[in-house]
Amino acid sequence: METTPKTRLSLAGYAAALSVALGGVWGSGCATGTETEGDVTSAHLLALSSYDASLGSSIDVYGTNFPMPDAGRAYIVFDGLWKASKGDREQIFSEYPLKVLDSGLARWTSFGPYTVPFGDGSQIGEFEGRVSVTVKSRDGETIATDSEPQNVTFKVEPSVLVHELQPLTANCAGPIQRGIGGLAYRIRVEAVGFEPETFTYTMQTPELDRTFWSVRRLATGRFDSFGEDGQLVLPDVPADYQFYGAILIVEATSTSGESFKNAFALGVRRPIEVFYNGNVEPAQFFAPSPVSGCIPGGATSREHTWENVKEQSETRSYDINWSNDWQKTHTVEQGSSRTVGASVVNGIGFSTTDGISYNWGTQSEINGTVKFDFLVEAGIGGRRNYLRDQGVTSSSSSERTRSEGIEVSETTTETESVGESEGGSMGEGYSFVATSAESIGNSFKGQIPAGTFAVLYTQKVRYTRRGVVVTYNQCGEPSEVGELDFTDWSWAIDMGQGTSCPPLPESNLPPASCPANDCDGEL
């Protein structure tokens, strides 16, 4: 086995796959184009970027009136005869989702790596028949079908077929949905349609801006595997990232000197995360408070600059309401700590003694540590929607509150642009201490009309953000295991004006109130 360190490979051919791995994890469906949407009922396929390709290739689909995400989902449809290389013949009608980039361009992202999309999935061959586009609603109802299918011949060339990619300690039923940073993986592949001489395994992590590795092995047959001895470990998610994308490339050379490559991307996450829905709800309006005396406008009006010499601050905090059912079925007592997830097949165990720092691992091994304060901060910075598909039972769940003035480093925003630009997108710095300077700055300038008086007021407002706590098993399958209420603070400023002072002119800010109904009479 030969290990060859490298410094950089061209990522032009893999950016599309990485975009799918990062943006498609949560089904956001964000399009990268800015085309004006047409009539999706007349969506039409014109051509494919290639009519002969190996598994793992990116196939672009050209057409008209492809739907944007809010209008529907596009599928490529194959209707015809599949002729497998071993002589099998099968009449097929298959459809595969497309990633719409704009109204005239989409990408077929499921051409590999784990299966040939035709027949029994294990043979290369040739398709002859009609190809078209179908548009469906999010609930699967057909909105439109292509009235003019294209007659094509599409050939699946010799390929490297990935049969397995999963953690060493797991037994996943199918392809993993996403990777977990810090776990060791094994991969098993097959050369289909050619006699291999070597297999080369390469992993790239372009967002982490670090060197990547490549390992070449002599072939001993059509099948090959790598990672059984712990060589294939996904790097930990860095402290200032919410996730990253890894590109895995398996390249095989044939005895005749040809090269066949299967490249695919994998979103890599922590085993536990916090996601917010992006909504911010006002929970409490405090009474407006005057922060200046009477300021006269004079005979000709005047401009006044107020300096915020007395900065106010509040501590951001959060409450976690864990799923009672999840704790009952996923918890193992271990002395003074509790390990969650270790009793479940393919599970990841979590142990904590304080409810703040969590060790996580598989079987008896500790793979890493995460701090919940950081997960909360990273979730806010990411502003990534989590599509809820299961409820949280928390009628008797324990509740733990954290409210410490902890400075937290910068965060990462999870968007498709991360994959398209092949680099991490850093969010703004964040702190668990909220200050009035963040909301209204350190000074305020206003014009006071002639013959009037002005008084400056500030108002403190408490907000609530609702989030969910998500864990992943070793196969990358998510579970919603808790709800999180995050308390945030903001300040507003206003210039109240009147013809006399005193009495103080009234503020235009809203009166004290408690929309959340949790103020216990204190406003």
Residue 424: per-residue pLDDT: 26
Asked if residue 475 and residue 327 are part of one domain, the reply reads: yes
Binning pLDDT at 50, 70 and 90, where does residue 332 land? Answer: very low
Residue 368: per-residue pLDDT: 72
Number of domains the chain is built from: 3
Residue 431: per-residue pLDDT: 62
The angle at the Cα of 488, spanning 482 to 494, to the nearest 5 degrees, equals 155
Across the range 335-347, mean pLDDT stands at 52
Nearest 10 degrees: CA dihedral of 368, 373, 378, 381? -170
Q: Which residues contact 59 (CB under 8 A, 6 or more apart)?
A: 48, 49, 50, 53, 107, 108, 111
Residue 374: per-residue pLDDT: 64
pLDDT exceeds cutoff 90 at 54: yes
Residue 9: per-residue pLDDT: 33
Asked if residue 358 and residue 436 are part of one domain, the reply reads: yes
**Which of 140-144, 318-322, 385-389 reaches the highest mean pLDDT?**
140-144
User: Do residues 458 and 493 lie in contact, with contact meaning Cβ atoms separated by under 8 Å?
Assistant: yes
Lowest-confidence range among 187-196, 236-245, 343-352, 444-453? Answer: 343-352
Higher pLDDT among residues 160 and 367, named by residue: 160
Q: How far is CA 59 from the centre of its chain?
A: 23
pLDDT exceeds cutoff 80 at 214: yes
Asked if residue 241 and residue 345 are part of one domain, the reply reads: no
Residue 253: per-residue pLDDT: 97
pLDDT exceeds cutoff 70 at 408: no
Asked if residue 296 and residue 332 are part of one domain, the reply reads: yes
Indicate the pairing of strand 125-136 with strand 73-84: antiparallel
Domain for residue 68, yes or no? yes
Residue that is last in its domain, among 109, 134, 158: 158
Residue 69: per-residue pLDDT: 84
**Domain containing 60 — which CATH number?**
2.60.40.10
Asked if residue 169 and residue 154 are part of one domain, the reply reads: no
Q: For the segment 70-118, what is each residue's pLDDT rounded down to a tens digit?
A: 889 999 999 999 999 999 999 999 999 999 999 999 999 889 899 999 9
pLDDT exceeds cutoff 60 at 25: no
| Longest alpha-carbon distance in the chain | 98
Residue 327: per-residue pLDDT: 61
Residue 416: per-residue pLDDT: 26
Domain for residue 208, yes or no? yes
User: Do residues 132 and 152 lie in contact, with contact meaning Cβ atoms separated by under 8 Å?
Assistant: no
Determine what percent of the chain is predicted with pLDDT higher than 90: 43
Residue 343: per-residue pLDDT: 46
User: Do residues 135 and 72 lie in contact, with contact meaning Cβ atoms separated by under 8 Å?
Assistant: yes
Residue 308: per-residue pLDDT: 66
**Domain containing 178 — which CATH number?**
2.60.40.1940
> Which of 348, 170, 221, 333 is closest to 273 using CA atoms?
348
Residue that is last in its domain, among 217, 235, 270: 270
**Which of 55-59, 192-196, 286-290, 390-394 reaches the highest mean pLDDT?**
192-196
Domain for residue 522, yes or no? no
Asked if residue 68 and residue 135 are part of one domain, the reply reads: yes
Domain for residue 69, yes or no? yes
User: Do residues 275 and 379 lie in contact, with contact meaning Cβ atoms separated by under 8 Å?
Assistant: yes
The length of the chain in residues reads 523
Asked if residue 104 and residue 38 are part of one domain, the reply reads: yes
Residue 125: per-residue pLDDT: 97
Domain for residue 321, yes or no? yes
Domain for residue 379, yes or no? yes
- E-only strand ranges, 365-452: 365-371, 399-402, 407-408, 430-431, 433-435, 443-448
Tokens 């001993």 found at? 220
Asked if residue 215 and residue 118 are part of one domain, the reply reads: no
Asked if residue 148 and residue 135 are part of one domain, the reply reads: yes
Lowest-confidence range among 19-33, 40-54, 148-162, 504-518? Answer: 19-33
Q: For the segment 150-181, what is each residue's pLDDT rounded down to a tens digit?
A: 999 999 999 999 999 999 989 998 888 899 99
pLDDT exceeds cutoff 60 at 254: yes
> Which of 74, 159, 87 is closest to 119 using CA atoms?
87
Residue that is last in its domain, among 158, 178, 207: 158
Domain for residue 234, yes or no? yes
Asked if residue 246 and residue 111 are part of one domain, the reply reads: no
Domain, as residue range, for 480: 273-394+407-498
Residue 364: per-residue pLDDT: 53
Tokens 């548009």 found at? 135
> Which of 164, 234, 178, 136 is closest to 24 using CA atoms?
178
Residue 446: per-residue pLDDT: 85
Asked if residue 290 and residue 227 are part of one domain, the reply reads: no
What rounded mean pLDDT belongs to the chain?
A: 77
Kindly report the backbone phi and psi dihedral angles of residue 30, in degrees, each rounded to the nearest multiple of 5, phi listed first: -65, 130
Asked if residue 178 and residue 310 are part of one domain, the reply reads: no
Indicate the pairing of strand 407-408 with strand 430-431: antiparallel
Residue 312: per-residue pLDDT: 82
Binning pLDDT at 50, 70 and 90, where does residue 436 land? Answer: confident
Domain for residue 112, yes or no? yes
